[in-house]
Structure 1
Amino acid sequence: MAFDGKKKITLKSSDDEIFEVKEAVANGENGEEILKNWDAKFMNSLLDLTCEVVADMIKGKTPEEIHKTFNIMNDFTSEEEEEICKENQWAFE
């Protein structure tokens, strides 16, 4: 292992296994920062995965099928629905 300029300490377990770790790690320094960084990366990965799954669930479905899949109640009147369709015609092409 190459020397990286950081102090290291040697730990010995109860079963006589020996470990060499950075002193900061052994003392728990920077642990909170490391955990925050890990949490942020994990949450971004989870968000990406969730978006991908939801996109796959709605891909190729009609609005009615999407309503049924996600248990969405359509509370628009037929006039309101027609107006929305006119305003967003590009989405229905």
Structure 2
Amino acid sequence: MHIIKLQTSDGEIIETDIQIAKCSGIIKTMLEDCGMEDDENVILSMVNSTILKKTLEWAEYHKADAQPPKDDESKEKRTDYINPWDANFIDVDEDTVFQLIAAANALDINGLFELSCKRAAILISGKTREEIRNMSSLINH
């Protein structure tokens, strides 16, 4: 098992298996195409340690899954179905959901992005404009 060190925006260094980290298209590109060495810290200034740990938890569970292309328009993408593990994983507060969306987008983790967006859609369903506007302030913190 090869280990990689990921440095978060709050300065924490998190070690993880390189194959798990490669669930991120950005990290995979940095390692494979940009000549970055495995022993270098990968600086992830766009994500804090709490959200990165949550992201890595998702990646650990889904490491064997094939990652769909970002522009995949399959019917599966449009379904409301969320498997039980993912449903439990994403059952978090609104702030965490929006931070996961931002992290998954920045790190290019399509499956986590889709899951987080599905959860956000559930959270805003039935809310008034004002309630959604108040939620959107979470995105800009």
TM-score range, shorter chain: 0.3 to 0.5
Larger radius of gyration: 1
TM-score for both structures, normalised by structure 1: 0.32
Highest relative contact order (Cα 8 Å, sep 6+), 1 or 2?
2
